[in-house]
């Protein structure tokens, strides 16, 4: 039987760290598909806590000992944990011993810019981006534009995103905090520089042009895409959904006030008879973008992409996530988990066949 497991960290006092609801859904699905799902938690001191899925109790039960799965699905919940010395050491040891850790690390926005810029095809779908080092970078950018975004290189869910707008009174600054939008009003250049220095934005943020996107019901919208690696093939789209921004918001994320909608409905209303052509082009760009990530070191089994389209339907790539958050769309979420299991078990099966061939 194929050997697959979940890799996590960060639990306290016997608790499992990470998204335990996600792990339980995978354990249940693995059982339905005839597989046994293990879970391995790396503790802060570097020790390992092994668990195995119990269908009877519908939870992961601790085990005193357990052999490490050949394929580990990396769901370590934070960059801080993933980059800690004890966890990095364990992961490097296991990989050197021949274990495969899928989705080996979080992605940063600057890393994605570098990966996608190397593709002649994808360059046409990217926004101008640059690492923010000091206020002179902003001044230079605003010589040619009236607005721009500052995005945290290692951020997620739109938290920390800043919108800057040049106007007669100075610079209007709005920042997306967790669950609320902070409007700082108009700042002078000195006040902006002071704000960015105090909040330690320099070196940690990305300058990015503000995209001119299509609107639906008077609101900007993004397309959230879930993609999985097909067994013995490349990445393909599992599902897509619309996230529409509140009026005046800098982000479309649902926890920050965004709303959900179906891709087919929105594209029909915005593009009419060109709907299917526009969707097909977006899918093609998304799959090429995921494939470009998959060509970097490591093994990648699932990704989510944030994208949008211009008023004439041209795809615009924003970012990708190595550890996708849950899709609220039940059909996409369920199909995605099944495709993920198929990808993980396919990798484990190939490893097992290769091992059997070596010992004959």
Q: Cβ-count burial of 57 within 10 angstroms (0-12 exposed, 13-18 middle, 19+ buried)? A: exposed
DSSP code of residue 217: T
- Cβ partners under 8 Å of residue 254, min gap 6: 243, 260, 328
| Beta pairing class for 48-54 and 100-102 | unpaired
275-294 and 263-271 helices, crossing angle to 10°: 130
259 SS3 class: strand
351: nearest Cα among 3, 93, 68: 3
275-294 and 109-117 helices, crossing angle to 10°: 100
137 SS3 class: helix
260 SS3 class: strand
**Range scoring the smallest mean pLDDT among 296-300, 343-347, 354-358:** 354-358
Going from N- to C-terminal start, the domains of the chain cover 4-104, 109-126+213-322, 129-209
Query: DSSP letters of 166-206?
Result: EETTEEEEEEEETTEEEEEEEE-HHHHHHHHHHTT-TTTEE
Whether 82 and 7 have beta carbons less than 8 Å apart is answered as no
pLDDT tens-digit map of 58-87: 999 999 877 899 999 999 999 999 999 999
In this structure, whether the domain defined by 109-126+213-322 belongs to CATH 3.30.420.280 is answered with: no
Whole-structure pTM value: 0.92
pLDDT tens-digit map of 241-296: 999 877 766 666 666 567 899 999 999 999 999 999 999 999 999 999 999 999 99
Average pLDDT, the chain: 91
Whether 191 and 116 have beta carbons less than 8 Å apart is answered as no
Note the pLDDT of residue 231.
76
- Measure the N-to-C terminal CA separation of the chain; round to a whole number of Å: 18
């Amino acid at each position: 039987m194929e050997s697959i497991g979940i890799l996590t960290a960060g639990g306290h006092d016997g608790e499992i760290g990470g998204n335990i609801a996600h792990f339980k859904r995978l354990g249940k699905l693995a059982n339905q598909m005839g597989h046994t799902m293990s879970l391995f938690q790396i503790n802060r001191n570097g020790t390992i806590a092994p668990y195995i899925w119990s269908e009877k109790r519908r939870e992961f039960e601790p085990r005193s000992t357990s052999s490490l799965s050949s394929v580990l699905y990396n769901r370590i919940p934070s960059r801080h944990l993933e980059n800690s010395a004890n966890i990095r050491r364990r992961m490097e040891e296991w990989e050197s011993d021949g274990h495969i850790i899928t989705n080996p690390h979080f992605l940063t926005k600057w890393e994605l810019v570098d990966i996608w810029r190397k593709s002649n095809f994808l360059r046409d779908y990217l926004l101008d981006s640059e690492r923010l080092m000091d206020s002179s970078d902003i001044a230079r950018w605003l010589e040619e534009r009236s607005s721009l975004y500052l995005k945290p290189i290692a951020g997620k869910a739109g938290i920390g995103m800043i919108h800057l707008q040049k106007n007669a009174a100075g610079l209007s600054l709005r920042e997306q905090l967790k669950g609320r939008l902070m409007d700082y009003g108009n700042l002078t250049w000195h006040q902006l520089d002071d704000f960015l220095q105090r909040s330690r934005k320099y070196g940690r943020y990305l300058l990015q042009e503000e995209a001119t996107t299509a609107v639906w019901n008077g609101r900007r919208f993004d397309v959230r895409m879930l993609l999985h690696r097909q067994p013995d093939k490349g990445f393909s789209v599992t599902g897509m959904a619309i996230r529409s921004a509140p009026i005046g918001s800098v982000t479309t994320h649902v926890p920050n006030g965004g709303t959900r909608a179906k891709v087919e409905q929105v594209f029909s209303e915005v593009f009419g008879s060109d709907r299917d052509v526009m969707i097909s082009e977006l899918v093609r760009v998304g799959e090429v973008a995921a494939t470009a990530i998959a060509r970097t070191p490591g093994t990648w089994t699932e990704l989510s992409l944030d994208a949008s389209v211009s008023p004439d339907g041209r795809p615009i790539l924003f970012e990708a996530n190595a550890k996708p958050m849950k899709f609220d769309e039940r059909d996409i979420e369920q199909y995605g988990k099944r495709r993920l299991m198929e990808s993980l078990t396919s990798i484990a099966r190939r490893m097992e066949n290769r091992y059997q061939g070596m010992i004959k």
